[in-house]
Structures are given as C-alpha cells and as structure tokens.
Amino acid sequence: MSYKETLHWMFAQLPMYQHQGKAAYKADLSNTLILTDYLDHPETGFKSVHVAGTNGKGSTSHMIASVLQEAGYKVGLYTSPHLKDFRERIKINGEPVSKGYVMDFIAKHKSFFESHALSFFEMTVGMAFQYFKEQNVDIAIIEVGMGGRLDSTNIITPEVSVITNIGFDHMQFLGDTLEKIAEEKGGIIKPGVPVVIGETQKETAPVFNRIAKEKNVEIKFADAMEYATYISDLKGIYQAKNIKTAVQTLYELRRNGWGISDEAIEKGLSHVVKNTGLLGRWQVLQQQPLAICDTAHNKEGLTYVMQQLETLNAKSLHLVIGVVNDKDLSRIIPLFPKTAHYYFCRPNIPRGLDAEILKNEFLKYGFHGNTYSSVNEAYKMALEKASNEDVIFVGGSTFVVAEII
C-alpha cells in the first residue's frame, strides 16, 4: 500500500475517537497489553515523561521537548490529534516519522491488528513506542490521548508524571465531576515517579494528594512555585500556566540527573514552534485583517482565548466557529462575545455538528450569524467582510483549525 492507502486503511478500518467518538473508546488496557507483548515491550526501551490534563497538555509537551532538544538530547514526541498529517503525532527532534516507516509498520503488523481488532489509537501508540525504541531516543515526551488510567499510553514508567489541569471534557467517558475526572487522569501517577500538577484546584488537589500519598511519591503544584520569568514563542495568554508546568517538570528531570541548563530552558521555551513544529495555538494566519486560530475547544480553554480576543480592541470581531456533535454547547456558548459576527460551519469529519444546528443553538442565546457549507467557505467570507481594523478568529474545534492551516 502507498502512504495514502495506508492512512485510508487506518482511518477506515479501525475505530478512532476523533472521527467516531464513543464507539472507539476501550474501557481497559487489555488490547494495549496484548500489542506491547507482541512488539516485545518497546515502552521499556526509552526514558519518558508522561503528560495528561484537560487543557495545555499538547503545548506543555512541546515546550518540554523543545527544551530537552536545546539541552542536546535526542527527543521523541508523541501527541494527538494531528492537524494536517498523521505523522505529526510521532516526531524526533521536531522531524515527523517518515512515510516509509508508517507504511512498513502497518504492512508488517496488519494481520495482527485485524485479528485483534485494535483501535486506531492503540495501533498508533504501538507504532510510536516501537519507533522511539528503534531510533534510540534519549527521552520521549508522551502525551495522553484521553483520561489517563485507561489510556493506551499508560504502560510506561516515566521519569516524571505531569497533569496540567482538570476541566469538563469527555465527560461521557471520564465522569461528570472534576473529582471523578481527576481520578481518571491521576491514573498515570506511579510508585516512585515524581508528580507535577499544573494548576491547584480545590476540587482536584485533594484527589491528587491522596493518590500521591498512596503511591508514596512527591507531588509539586507548579502554580504554587516561584520561577524565573521565561518568554515563549507560543503567544496565548494561557501559555503562562503551561510554562510553569513545563519548567517544574524540567526541574524534576534535573533533580533526576538530566543535564538541563537555565540557558536551555530559556532557548527551548522561546523556540517551541521552530524546534517542534507545533501548530494551532494562538496562531496568526495573516495580518490586515488580523486572523488568528486556536484549537481551544472546551470551557476552560475557550475562556482564556475569548479573554485574549477582548484585549485586541478590534473594531469588529468575526468568528468562524464549528464543533463536534458531542460538545456540551450550554457550557461554551455563553463564553463567546454577542457583538461579534458569526460564521457557522461544520468540520469535515463524521463527528462534525451540522452548521444549522450549531447556528440555532447560538440563536437561542441571542447571537447572530449565517451558516456556510464548509470551514474554508466560512473563513473566505469572513475575510471578505472584515475591514483591516477588524479581527477574525477561527476555532471551536481542533478539526476546524486543521482545515484552515
């Protein structure tokens, strides 16, 4: 199979959460354990940092990876979902895995995947871990897909376990309270492995403290620590919290014997995009009119993004918005500015919510806007209507942003 055919097979044949939603969710690690046994346990072949959380885990993972690259290490980076190409999920020192490796891995193990009905995510985790082992990375930053306790990545024993924060997302899988969600994400905490928590929250801190005590590990809350001031090329105001989380994680690695200078931290944080290729975080698409996209898609993430939009003092705001069909709209619609012009669209995936349904939900709250047949049409119309003093924002879903970048 060609690379295109290989991806088509992966997406079409195997359940994948980002396209199918709940049908892709496995409630245990049995398949992952079968797979890693079959691959001869590649997860034991490299050091790692494990990063979970509701918001910021992608940015934090890229920050840590960038600093470790500046420190001279060969760094693997596993994240999800991808925006433009599947290979974004698996990188070493910012370079995506080759098309040839993806094709060869699938071809070699295709019959095993089929016979055990492995999910897209399980298979991709296996590919990433095998690649990092074969390429002899010094360390790999592994982002959790969803939750933590039952996530396919949760077979590693990392150098540090990181949980950025807890918010209401994927509640149909993880629970309907912050405490229940924290319990699931706290499942990555392992005996003997230091823990960094990004944000102190009154609902979740007791959960993490209890788990850490049970596992007899040291826990640090990054927002309660004092740090030197670091600047990142990731410009969202929410990145200030992610910087603290990343820095505390790097300090824990340093305590474990990793050579990470203050200069490496400074350079790594200021060159995240250059070093890792991260996209879609308060990313400027063009000037005049200023157009920005961001992958924030839940209440906590969108709160910060909307606050930052307000600081731009635009003459008018134009928002290109699309979401997936399992999104709790009642939590996010009140966050948006009512005075903005709205361009409703549907991301081009099976889970995309129909634009008319999205518009009607916004209308209930007193918003105004029109629907468009695609994300690109909506963005094109926003560009036509906006003056040079206006600001255009594209978001609501990772998949909306993916179609624009």
Name the residue with tokens 């398949």: 31
- Residue 18 is predicted with a pLDDT of 47
Angle at Cα 105 formed by Cα 68 and Cα 41, nearest 5°? 65
- Residue 24 is predicted with a pLDDT of 46
- Residue 174 is predicted with a pLDDT of 61
Closest CA to 15 of 89, 146, 120: 120
- Residue 14 is predicted with a pLDDT of 54
- Residue 27 is predicted with a pLDDT of 61
What pTM was estimated for this model as a whole?
A: 0.92
- Residue 120 is predicted with a pLDDT of 87
- Residue 173 is predicted with a pLDDT of 57
Domains recognised in the chain with CATH numbers: 3-276 (3.40.1190.10), 283-404 (3.90.190.20)
Torsion angles phi and psi, residue 394, rounded to 5: -120, 125
Distance CA 405, CA 400 (A): 9
- Residue 402 is predicted with a pLDDT of 94
pLDDT one digit per residue (tens) for the chain, 405 residues: 999 999 988 887 655 444 445 444 456 799 999 999 999 999 999 999 999 998 899 999 999 999 999 999 999 999 998 999 999 999 999 999 999 999 999 999 999 999 998 888 999 999 999 999 999 999 999 999 887 898 999 999 999 999 999 887 544 556 568 889 999 999 999 999 999 999 999 999 999 999 999 999 999 999 999 888 999 999 888 899 999 999 999 999 999 999 999 999 999 999 999 999 999 999 999 999 999 999 998 888 899 999 999 999 899 999 999 999 988 899 999 999 999 999 999 999 888 999 999 999 999 999 999 999 999 999 999 999 999 999 999 999 999 999 999
Distance CA 39, CA 272 (A): 32
What are the helix (H) ranges across 15-119? 17-20, 30-38, 57-70, 99-115
With b meaning 16 or more CB within 10 Å and e meaning fewer, what string describes 354-367? ebeebbebbeeeeb
- Residue 275 is predicted with a pLDDT of 98
Torsion angles phi and psi, residue 290, rounded to 5: -65, 125
Asked if 350 and 18 touch (Cβ cutoff 8 Å), the reply is no
- Residue 300 is predicted with a pLDDT of 85
